[in-house]
Every structure is written in structure tokens, then in C-alpha cells.
Amino acid sequence: MKKVLDKIDFVIRWIENIVCGTTLFAVVCIASASVIARYIFQTGFLWADEVNQALLVAMGMFGSARAVRMDGHTEFTTLSSKPKSKAVRIGIRAVFMTITIGFLIFLFVNSMKYTSSGTMLSTALKIPRKYYYMSIPMGFGLMIYEYIRAINRKVLNDPEKQEE
């Protein structure tokens, strides 16, 4: 069973990395081409802003999940590191983790409702905007997965001390 879960985790990590890299590359290419077209050829791409907006949302959501995996998010270590008792420190971190996961579940549910009920079309491409924003619930779902995956590490272990 552990091998199957490790394989699933590997695939999820791979998807997060590929989506983040691909969307960043696409945003840079589209923005560069748009700037060149606008300032050198006095024309532009009507669709470029819409596509970049959708790509930035996807990059932000998948990147947030990747940041959770890589311990890139900020934490309340000042408050959770103060108590002398390890049990109290674990309790504080558990409360923070519970609040974080609860908030992410709330956002996941509401973003699913928002995305699935969207009927508005995009301005230039006339594509339903819900397709642009499908990455929002995906990102929240991945963040929930990453936080649940990291519960033992983030709650039971004291964070590393940073030099001031």
C-alpha cells in the first residue's frame, strides 16, 4: 500500500512542478510576444491578457501547493516556539494546522461552487470563464492534500531556528 501511495505522491509532485514551470514559461513567452508586437509592430494580441490571467491563476494555485510541499509558506513560529513545554508547542501547532486546513476546505468548497456556476464568457476568446478558474479548486485541493501529508512533520517537529 505504501508503494502505491508513494507513486501517487510522486505523480502529484510531478504535476505541481510541470504546471508551475509550464505556466511560468507560457506567461513569459506570451507577455514578451505581446510587448514586441505592441511596441515594434504597433499591433497586439487581443487574447494575450485573458490567457495570461488564466495562466497566472493556475501558476498561483499550483505554486501554493508546491510551496506547502517545499515548506515555502510562512508559519507562526514565533508564537508556537515560545512555550517551554513540547506538548504545548505541539498543541499550538496542531491548532494552527487545524485552522489552516479548515480554512482551505472552506475555500475549496466555495471555489467549487463559484467555478461550477460560472456562465460568463471571456471577452476576447468567448470561452466560459469557469474553465479559466478551474485551477482554483484544484489548487486548494492540492494544498489540503499537502498539508495533510505534512501534518506529522509540521506539528510534531519543532521548526528550525533561523539566524537573526
**Start-end of H helices in the chain:** 2-40, 48-69, 77-80, 86-117, 129-132, 135-149, 151
List beta partners, residue 128: 121
Q: Is 131's pLDDT higher than 90?
A: no
List beta partners, residue 121: 128
Q: Where are the domains positioned within the chain?
A: 2-156
- Radius of gyration from C-alpha coordinates of the chain: 20
pLDDT digits (tens, 9 = 90+) for 71-119: 877 776 777 777 788 888 888 889 989 999 999 999 999 999 988 887 7
Distance between CA atoms of residues 16 and 9, nearest Å? 11
Distance between CA atoms of residues 155 and 84, nearest Å? 16
